[in-house]
């Protein structure tokens, strides 16, 4: 009886886990770290977006006496998408999620990776125009990233 309960619990836990949406996405870049950052900045500008800030987390950690592999977070903005959220009081509560962020980092295997939030996974929880806008912005950034990602 105990084995049956444990098996049932394990299956239910696995089923529950499988239904959970993936909140963060990670893909290997076809370029090295510096080249990915450089080419990504150019591709973002070419697509009509702006890099509003680049956070060098490796540098920040070094200032605090910690050593980590290279990590840069590009904060990217599309004014048309941002305006839809920021111009309406009912959607401003979503502003902590702005601007969109794309992380470029190196792992111990020497490979470079790109990660970002999977906005469509939680956009339905936000709903309305804000959720739709987040999904549209995500789709735009995925088009930018497509040429970087090793499938």
> What angle, 0 to 180 degrees and rounded to 10, lies between the N-to-C axes of helices 79-86 and 128-145?
160
Q: How confident is the model at residue 151 (pLDDT cuts 50, 70, 90)?
A: confident
Q: What pLDDT was estimated at residue 10? A: 36
Q: What is the mean pLDDT of residues 11-39?
A: 79
Q: What is the mean pLDDT of residues 36-63?
A: 98
3-state secondary structure of 132: helix
Q: How confident is the model at residue 18 (pLDDT cuts 50, 70, 90)?
A: low
Contact 105, 73 (CB under 8 A): no
pTM of the model: 0.84
Q: How far apart are CA 43 and CA 142, in angstroms?
A: 12
What digits encode the pLDDT tens for the residues 97-130? 999 999 999 999 999 999 999 999 989 999 999 9
Q: What pLDDT was estimated at residue 117? A: 95
Domains of the chain from N-terminus onward: 24-145 (3.30.310.70)
Higher-confidence residue: 72 or 12? 72
């Amino acid at each position: 009886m105990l084995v049956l309960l444990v098996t049932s619990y394990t299956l239910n836990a696995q089923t529950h886990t499988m239904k959970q949406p993936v909140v963060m996405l990670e893909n290997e870049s076809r370029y090295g770290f510096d080249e990915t950052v450089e080419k990504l900045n150019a591709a973002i500008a070419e697509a009509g977006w702006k890099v509003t800030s680049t956070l060098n987390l490796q540098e920040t950690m070094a200032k605090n006496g910690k050593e980590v592999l290279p990590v840069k977070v590009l904060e990217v903005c599309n004014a048309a998408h941002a305006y839809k959220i920021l111009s309406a009081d009912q959607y401003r509560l979503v502003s902590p999620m702005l601007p969109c962020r794309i992380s470029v980092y190196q792992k111990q295997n020497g490979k470079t990776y790109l990660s970002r939030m999977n906005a469509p996974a939680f956009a339905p929880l936000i709903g309305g125009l804000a959720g739709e806008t987040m999904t549209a912005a995500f789709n735009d950034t995925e088009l930018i990233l497509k040429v970087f990602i090793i499938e």
